[in-house]
Amino acid sequence: MPTKVLLAEPRGFCAGVEMAIKALTWMVQIFEPPVYCYHEIVHNAAVVDAFELAGVVFVEDIADVPEGRPIMLSAHGSAPDVVTAADARAAVLVDAVCPLVTKVHHEVRRMADKGFEIIYVGHEGHDEAVGAVAEAPDSVTLVDPGSGLDVFRPDPAAPVALLAQTTLGMYEWSGILDEASDRYPDLWTARRSDLCYATTNRQTAVGILSERSDLILVVGSENSSNTQALVRVARKAGVVAHRVDGPDSIDPEWLRDVGVVGVTAGASAPDRRVQEVIEAIAPTEGVELVRVTEEDEYFPLPPRLRRFAQVLQALVEGGFACRTPGRAGPLDADREFGATGALETLGV
Ligand code: SF4
CATH for 181: 3.40.1010.20
Q: Is 166 in the pocket of ligand 1 (CB under 6 A)?
A: yes
Asked if the structure places residue 297 within a domain, the reply is no
Question: Where in the sequence is the domain holding 283, given as residue range(s)?
Answer: 4-13+197-291
> Does residue 170 lie within any of the structural domains?
yes
Ligand 1 atom closest to the Cα of residue 196 is 2
pLDDT-derived band at 70 (thresholds 50, 70, 90) equals very high
List, by residue number, the catalytic residues: 128
Query: Which of 73, 165, 196 to probe ligand 1 with, by most ligand atoms within 8 A of CB?
Result: 196
* Pocket lining: 167 vs ligand 1, CB cutoff 6 Å: yes
Question: Which whole number is the average pLDDT over 36-55?
Answer: 96
Assign 341 a pLDDT band (cuts: 50, 70, 90).
confident
107 and 162 inside one domain: yes
CA of 311 to the centre of ligand 1 (A): 29
Q: Is residue 229 part of a domain?
A: yes
Query: What average pLDDT score do residues 173-195 get?
Result: 95
Rounded to an integer, the average pLDDT of 40-59 is 96
Q: 97 C-alpha to center of ligand 1: Å?
A: 9
Ligand 1 atom 6: residue of nearest CA: 16
Q: Are residues 185 and 239 in the same domain?
A: no
pLDDT at 161 over 90: yes
Mean pLDDT of all residues in 270-299: 97
Q: How many domains does the chain have?
A: 3
Average pLDDT over residues 198-212: 97
Q: Contact at 8 Å (CB) between 213 and 6? A: yes
Average pLDDT of 256-264?
Answer: 97
Kindly state whether residue 240 falls inside one of the protein's structural domains. yes
Residue 166 Cα, ligand 1 centroid: separation in angstroms?
7
Beta bridge mates, 265: 219
Prediction pTM value: 0.93
Q: Tell me the Cα Rg of the chain.
A: 21
The answer, yes or no, to whether any atom of ligand 1 lies below 6 A from the CB of 104, is no
Q: Given 159, 189, 219, which residue is the final one in a domain? A: 189
Mean pLDDT of the chain: 94
| Alpha-carbon dihedral sign for residues 78, 82, 86, 87 | positive
Same domain, residue pair 44 and 103: no
Residues 106, 176: one domain? yes
Q: How far is the CA of 25 from the centre of ligand 1 (A)?
A: 18
Task: Name which residue leads in pLDDT, 196 or 335.
Answer: 196
Q: How far apart are CA 195 and CA 173, in angstroms?
A: 8
What is the pLDDT, as a whole number, of residue 317? 74
Percent of the chain with pLDDT over 90: 85
| Average pLDDT, integer, range 206-211 | 97
CA dist., res. 336 & res. 170, Å (int): 31
